[in-house]
Amino acid sequence: MAYSNTGLNTVAASKRGNAPSIYTYTSADAIATVNTSGYFNDLSDTLAVGDIIFVHDSATPTMSIVVVLSNASGVVDVSDGTAVSVADAD
């Protein structure tokens, strides 16, 4: 699939430029798709290097945290993602 604006929410926006902004993003796309370079290109005017995105895969469900690694010439690349445990052992 492709990036969809309806899945993005701002949690905290950096107002002084010296702290990362934090976002959540929900999609049926797996993290392997979301972390592909160019997936977030539609947000190249919004995202900055160091920004954090909590990615929720609504199809699985799983959660990962990615960091914006680069944003140059309209091409956004994020980290592979760190998985957040969503296990429920009870």
Per-residue pLDDT of the chain (90 residues; tens, 9 = 90+): 789 989 999 999 988 778 999 999 999 999 999 999 999 999 999 999 999 999 999 999 899 999 999 999 999 999 999 999 988 888
How long a stretch of residues is the chain? 90
Main-chain dihedrals φ then ψ at residue 39, nearest 5 degrees? -60, -40
Q: Structural domain boundaries of the chain?
A: 5-84
Q: Supply the pLDDT for residue 49.
A: 95
Q: Supply the pLDDT for residue 88.
A: 85
Collapsed DSSP state (helix, strand, coil) of residue 12: strand
Collapsed DSSP state (helix, strand, coil) of residue 57: strand
Collapsed DSSP state (helix, strand, coil) of residue 45: coil
Collapsed DSSP state (helix, strand, coil) of residue 31: helix
Q: Which residue has the tokens 């929900």?
A: 26
Q: Supply the pLDDT for residue 22.
A: 97
The model's pTM is 0.92
